[in-house]
Amino acid sequence: MQSTTEQRNLNSIGIDLKSTSEIVQVFHEADREAVAAVEAESDAIAYAIDLCVDAFRAGGRLFYVGAGTSGRLGVLDASECPPTFSTSPEMVQGIIAGGDVALRRAVEGEEDKPERGAQAIRERQLTPQDVLVGIASSGRTPYVIGALKEAHAIGATTIFFCCVQPPKQLKDYVTHFITPIVGPEIITGSTRLKAGTATKLVLNMLTTVSMIKLGKVYDNLMVDLHASNEKLVARSIRIVQAVTGVDAALAEATLTQADGSAKLAIVMLTKGLNPTEADALLEKHAGFLREILDKER
């Protein structure tokens, strides 16, 4: 049976005859379908997030593995975690078939080699404490399936993301499935479109919600950001001001004392502590700023 990702989209037949505005409307309709499909998987996404949080708390890591667009989106999501949440680069990692060169241009044939996916997992030295998220819109990418089998053999938690009903045999080595069924693509088979949108939405939630649960967000502020450029330094100042109510000059001066850590600066200002004392208080509360500000009065 033909995968839904390879079927013709009746709504886009004759798209080459439509006006630009009409084509844009076709895209809007398709994007709404992708969002609805992801929303329908809310429970599955929430369970996957809990698996990731449990792994992180046990000292484990999160790995994404995919080919083509799926691999690029995994690498993108992983690369955003260190500057946004001050995580180590090892905590969330993206693996793409063909290696880093495949981020810029297609490496033909690599996605068809399950042994390469398994090799990539061995090279990362996965452990039973880790989580591997295999991303394959079509549900059948050999590279991804090879990685999932190897991770399962190691004892790691395995999550499979696809935009079709997955083959039944995958249940033998997949712990959990996330399957937003987005339907046929606007351009037949081009899964960088609706499937890519659904993938990005889900990966956003997997890492961001996990980091919220780990105390890296206070209210809706990224208090654990790594201020590595002028934009992020300015954001850090605004975050410290928003939480403490101090002026920009004091916020900036305290951030300097806190070595750029907004969370540390906030504790220093609200509790009247020096950096060492503030750091010890954060350690006591496992980095949860909410607990300090609400309970340590």
DSSP symbols for 103-123? GTS--TTGGG-HHHHHHHHHH
The answer on 278 and 251 residing in a single domain is yes
What is the rounded CA–CA span in Å between residue 149 and residue 105?
27
* 218 in a structural domain: no
What pLDDT sits at residue 85?
Answer: 93
What pLDDT sits at residue 47?
Answer: 98
pTM of the model: 0.91
> Could you say which of 41, 110, 111, 150 is catalytic?
111
What CATH number has the domain bearing residue 33?
Answer: 3.40.50.10490
What is the rounded CA–CA span in Å between residue 266 and residue 221?
12
Q: Give backbone dihedrals phi and psi of 97, rounded to 5 degrees, phi first.
A: -55, 130
The answer on 32 and 125 residing in a single domain is yes
By CB neighbour count within 10 A (0-12 exposed, 13-18 middle, 19+ buried), where does 120 fall?
buried
29 among known catalytic residues = no
* 219 in a structural domain: no
Which of 213, 240, 255 marks a domain boundary? 213
Which of 154, 187, 213 marks a domain boundary? 213
Which of 213, 244, 261 marks a domain boundary? 213
What is the rounded CA–CA span in Å between residue 10 and residue 91?
42
What tens-digit pLDDT sequence spans the chain (297 residues)?
A: 567 888 888 889 999 999 999 999 999 999 999 999 999 999 999 999 999 999 999 999 999 999 999 999 999 999 999 999 999 999 999 999 998 888 888 777 788 899 999 999 999 999 999 999 999 999 999 999 999 999 999 999 999 999 999 988 899 999 999 999 999 999 998 899 999 999 999 999 999 999 999 999 999 999 998 777 899 899 999 999 999 999 999 999 999 999 999 999 999 999 999 999 999 999 999 999 999 998 755
What CATH number has the domain bearing residue 249?
Answer: 1.10.8.1080
* 161 in a structural domain: yes
80 among known catalytic residues = yes
Q: Provide the 8-state DSSP code for 95.
A: E
Which of 127, 45, 60, 136 has its CA nearest to residue 96? 136
Domain tally, the chain: 2
Nearest-5° Cα angle at 74, 124 to 153: 40
Domain hosting 81: range is 4-213
What pLDDT sits at residue 284?
Answer: 95
Which of 43, 89, 82, 30 has its CA nearest to residue 202? 43
What is the rounded CA–CA span in Å between residue 281 and residue 291?
10
The sheet with strand 92-96 has its strands ordered as: 92-96, 62-66, 131-135, 157-161, 176-178
What pLDDT sits at residue 157?
Answer: 98
